[in-house]
Amino acid sequence: MMPGPTLIKKCSACQQLIEEETLISGNTCGAVFWTDGEYFADMLPAQPELVKCPFCKALVWLEELEEVGDKGMNHFEGFVPVKNPDIDLHITRLYKMPNMNDYFRLLKEKIENDQRESYLRLRAWRAGNDRRRTSEHGPQRFRKNRKRPLEPLSYTEIKNMKELICILDEQSDEERLLKAELFRELGFFTQCLNYLARPLDEEYKVSAALIRDLALKKDPWVREMTPEAEWKGGGFELNATGA
């Protein structure tokens, strides 16, 4: 992994300074993948679009925030000159990640951008599944609470997942696979299998086979994938400028 500079941006709600870490390149070696498309990779940290301000807790889109400066490629390089000399770049905090309810709260507002609505619904679905990843039935290394049982889908989660199914484009192999997984987690196993009946690109075939097997077993829970069943194939390399 090769980290890029840490950008310093001004929160549009409280004007405090938020750190945004960037990435020049990374890879998924040693990553953990899940059937809902989520993954956790030390060498490829998430690059979210929507974050929570660490100061005022407002939800903000990173691309909309004013950039006032940045730190160097590592913490020893200091700061570059800032556009406003009155700003103290040393008073900064890294953003926080929204939780499921944060995404749902934003979805109650009118979202005119279809791409953003899709992003919010996808992130809300996966954030809800985070509670199941860390339940007593989850993989050993993800269990935060050994006594937490598997939680069934809430009404709000079900509604969001159905809305997401309507938004996703089944002409895209990746989105068709997501639709199949959504149907499986909703307990609509026949619909899941129908979406997997048509051939998929080679990079999705192993993932599809695992989801199909779970549907045949009538298993509706999000599941960890084996290393050879990564969402988009074996440990790939990402260049931030070209992917």
Same domain, 132 and 18: no
Q: 85 and 105: one domain?
A: no
Domain end: 29, 61, 94, which one?
Answer: 94
175: in domain = yes
Whether residue 243 is contained in a domain is answered as: no
Considering the domain architecture, whether residues 195 and 107 belong to the same structural domain is answered as: yes
- Same-domain pairing of 117 and 227: yes
Instruction: Give pTM, 2 decimals.
Output: 0.85
CA distance 28 to 238: 9
Q: Please, are residues 181 and 36 in contact by the beta-carbon 8 Å criterion?
A: yes
Q: Which residues of the chain have pLDDT under 50?
A: 81, 228-243
Segments forming the whole domain that contains residue 207: 100-232
Residue at which a domain ends, from 75, 94, 113: 94
Please tell me the predicted confidence (pLDDT) of residue 213: 95
Q: How far is CA 170 from CA 146, 164, 166, 177, in A?
A: 38, 12, 10, 8
* Kind plus residue range of the DSSP H or E element containing 130: helix 114-133
Q: Is residue 196 in a domain?
A: yes
Instruction: Identify whether residues 123 and 221 lie together within a single domain.
Output: yes
Same domain, 38 and 107: no
Whether 50 and 111 map to the same domain: the answer is: no
Q: Are residues 90 and 133 in the same domain?
A: no
Q: What's the pLDDT score for residue 108? A: 94
- Could you tell me if residue 64 is inside a domain? yes
In a domain, 83, yes or no: yes
**Is residue 90 domain-shared with residue 109, that is, in the same domain?**
no
Cβ atoms within 10 Å of 208's Cβ, excluding its own: 21
In a domain, 158, yes or no: yes
* Rounded Cα–Cα distance for residues 33 and 37 (Å): 7
Q: Given its phi and psi angles, is residue 236 left (phi above 0), alpha (psi -120 to 50 degrees) or beta?
A: beta
The pLDDT, as a whole number, for residue 87 is: 63
Into how many domains does the chain fold? Answer: 2
How open is the CA angle 49-19-103, to the nearest 5 degrees?
Answer: 35
74 and 121 housed in the same domain: no
Residues 108 and 210 in one domain: yes
Q: Is residue 122 part of a domain?
A: yes
Last residue of a domain, one of 94, 124, 154: 94
Within a domain: 241: no
* Residue in the block written with tokens 């939800």: 59
191 and 142, same structural domain? Answer: yes
